[in-house]
A and B are shown apart, each in its own frame.
Chain A
Amino acid sequence: MRVDDLSVSFRAYAGLVKAVRGVSFHLDKGETLAIVGESGSGKSVTMKAILGILPKNGRIDSGSIIYDGQDLAKFTEQEFYQIRGKKISLVFQDPLSALNPIMIVGKQITEALTLSLGMSKERAKVRALELMNAVGIPDCETRFHQYPFQFSGGMRQRVVIAIALASDPEILICDEPTTALDVTIQARILELIKEIKAQRGLSIIFITHDLGVVANMADRIAVMYAGKIVEMGTSDDIFYRPVHPYTWALLSSIPDLDTKEALVSIPGTTPDMIHLPPGDAFSPRNKYAVALDFEREPPMFRVSDTHCAATWLLHPNAPKVEMPELLANRIRRNAEERIADER
């Protein structure tokens, strides 16, 4: 799948909200792409655009979403029926509200099979039980007939994953699947997603605001800010060789249990998406911003074959700026640990 220069905007009372501004990325078969960003950075909106489930006031302004030779950005609702669930599935952020509270869990899984694939009820049930087993729900036969409120949060998320897997999709979009869960459960769900991916050869787009979560999940990472991808590269590129000040800030703000460093936070808040500042949207919060940042938006600079970032700091004429010392130390430490682990 390939997303090119995608822009999405919403009509709101205050004006036009440009939620996604020219996002491009590609997803190869069998890889996990993580999209990281603060709330409101447009990561969920991008995914909704891919699935054609933007709210009624949302609109794709430009760009294309090429999947299997077809442009999803131009798909009608009718055409999306062939994609949703069958080719691309979504795992929701909050398993509590994503399940219908008054329908038995089993039926919510089989529904996808009987209604959109035309499978018989009996076969759908067999398949649903298999799925429930595969996502690690014990005692499937009994659980099949229970309602969501009889499940714990982690179990509910497993149900949501089972539903997403029901029609054997090729791409699984996980929209902050662990945000609403306890930390211990989080780890298990992440483990489950990894397992499923390996078993079924899925491609995964993993959306999160927590770089820590994606550290050992993602093959590649895209960092989003204010509707744009500001840095994209392999997991190693982002974690060991970050170049964008925003990525630096994000990485610095991951709590580190080994040191007594104070927790770093990014000053300020995300910009108003209706009246974006001129130039780089991150510049007002960026202590490394150069004058040009306030005037013109930086283009994507290539760092290596796999790594690119949108910051003027990469321009040949830009002043040489090193990443914050704290982060540099931390990266060095992590790298050393990794080498030690590998030995």
Chain B
Amino acid sequence: MLITLFIIVTIGFMVIRLMPGNTMYADDPDMSAAQIEVLRAKYHLDKPVPVQYVIFLRGLLLEGDWGTSISLYVGVPVWDVLKAKIPVSMYNNIVSLMISLPLGILSGVIAAIRKNTIVDYATSFAVVIFISVPSFIFATLLQYFAAFKWRLFPIIYDASATGAGKLHSLLLPILALSFSPIARVTRYLRAELAETINSDFMLLARTKGLTETQATLRHGIRNSLVPLANVVIPMFTHIMSGSLVIERIFSIPGMGGLMVSSINAPDYPLTLAILIFYSLVSLVTVLVVDLAYGVIDPRIRIGGRNIE
């Protein structure tokens, strides 16, 4: 995982630095050539890219120094900028994931049990719509109807709210983010469970006297959760990337807006830090899911132990 992260940081750094247009302040008419030189020297922009890379890496590893913002928040350490934004974005993303999983599982189970009935068809229809329509469309629709027309929610994020109020003001973006993951989980679980229901151990569960519901709840669902853990990884990264756009629509001061403006500025250290942050989150998701396999599936937990 550390090696993966190192490769991502290296490639990310190189790509960002080698992008055209990296002569900072060069065309600023208010500054003299000497001033520009001083600034460039201060941020090591006058040195060759590999040297800059070494300086960056040394700062990050030895002092936890992510560099300093060079144009958006001039002089502010990058970490301080991120510190304010990360909680807002992660709040959205994680709440969205927390909503999507149970709702998706629930509707997937219902669709599987009522397979080939009107309930199943309706669910499948909704799933197709929610997967194929991008989240920002739902965001705009929700914003227009729920917030503007019916005035149930604030139109844009209210930064001063806390606790329940915060959830209330973030509910629309979270909902918009959750539609597609819910649909994905539903579709996946329906397919898995429909197969599990036909397995012999479900039949055995019924022949030993369990009702169909008991058999499905106790034997069916957990068995179909094992492969589901697999979809959680792409799902979470999907939520995070969706969140970049949604945050703009609802004016949420999170990572999304920051990322776009840091690229436009350009503010290299900031862009790089955001990139590293997102990579790190994705890697942690993978790790968590891998560990979750062991919890859900004893064959992985105990099987691994036996090999040692």
Residues of A within 8 A of B (CB): 51, 53, 77, 81, 84-86, 89-90, 92, 94, 97-104, 111-112, 115-117, 147, 149-150, 160, 163-164, 166-167
B210 touches A92 (CB 8 A): no
Q: Which residues of B contact A150 (CB under 8 A)?
A: 302
A97 touches B209 (CB 8 A): no
- A343–B123 Cα distance when bound, in Å, is 73
Q: Give B223's nearest chain A residue, CB to CB.
A: A102
- A81–B215 Cα distance when bound, in Å, is 12
A167-B209 contact in complex given A98-B200, A102-B296, C-beta closer than 8 Å: yes
B91 CB, nearest partner CB in chain A, Å: 33
- A262–B154 Cα distance when bound, in Å, is 87
Among A77, A100, A117, chain B packs the most CB atoms within 10 A around the CB of: A100
Q: Which 6 A-B pairs have the closest CB atoms?
A: A85-B209, A116-B209, A112-B208, A97-B200, A85-B208, A90-B207
Q: Give A83's nearest chain B residue, CB to CB.
A: B209
Sample of 14 further A-B pairs with CB below 8 A, known A86-B209, A102-B297, A116-B210:
A84-B207, A84-B209, A85-B208, A89-B207, A90-B204, A92-B204, A98-B204, A102-B296, A103-B219, A103-B222, A111-B208, A111-B218, A117-B209, A147-B298
B302 touches A163 (CB 8 A): no
Q: Give A173's nearest chain B residue, CB to CB.
A: B207
Q: Which residues of A contact B212 (CB under 8 A)?
A: 77
Q: Give A52's nearest chain B residue, CB to CB.
A: B206
A164 touches B203 (CB 8 A): no
- A103–B226 Cα distance when bound, in Å, is 13
Q: Which residues of B contact A81 (CB under 8 A)?
A: 209, 211
Residues of B within 8 A of A (CB): 199-201, 203-212, 214, 218-219, 222-223, 226, 296-299, 302-303
Secondary structure at the B interface, as helix, strand, loop or mixed, is helix
B30 CB, nearest partner CB in chain A, Å: 68
Q: What are 19 of the A-B contact pairs (CB < 8 Å)?
A: A51-B207, A53-B206, A81-B211, A89-B207, A92-B203, A97-B201, A98-B200, A99-B201, A100-B205, A100-B219, A101-B299, A102-B298, A102-B299, A104-B298, A111-B208, A111-B210, A149-B299, A150-B302, A163-B208
A65 CB, nearest partner CB in chain B, Å: 15
B299 touches A84 (CB 8 A): no
Q: Which residues of B contact A92 (CB under 8 A)?
A: 200, 203-204
Q: Which residues of A contact B203 (CB under 8 A)?
A: 53, 92, 98
A102 touches B226 (CB 8 A): yes
A101 touches B204 (CB 8 A): no
Q: Which residues of B contact A166 (CB under 8 A)?
A: 208
- A167–B211 Cα distance when bound, in Å, is 15
A101 touches B223 (CB 8 A): yes
Q: Which residues of B contact A167 (CB under 8 A)?
A: 208-209
Q: Which residues of B contact A163 (CB under 8 A)?
A: 204, 208
- A84–B199 Cα distance when bound, in Å, is 18
Q: Give B206's nearest chain A residue, CB to CB.
A: A53
A115-B209 contact in complex given A98-B204, A102-B226, C-beta closer than 8 Å: yes
- A25–B239 Cα distance when bound, in Å, is 62
Q: Which residues of A contact B296 (CB under 8 A)?
A: 102
Q: Which residues of B contact A164 (CB under 8 A)?
A: 207-208
Q: Which residues of A contact B206 (CB under 8 A)?
A: 53, 84
- A34–B25 Cα distance when bound, in Å, is 92
- A116–B215 Cα distance when bound, in Å, is 11
- A97–B219 Cα distance when bound, in Å, is 13
Q: Which residues of B contact A111 (CB under 8 A)?
A: 205, 208, 210, 218
Q: Which residues of B contact A149 (CB under 8 A)?
A: 298-299, 303
- A85–B214 Cα distance when bound, in Å, is 14
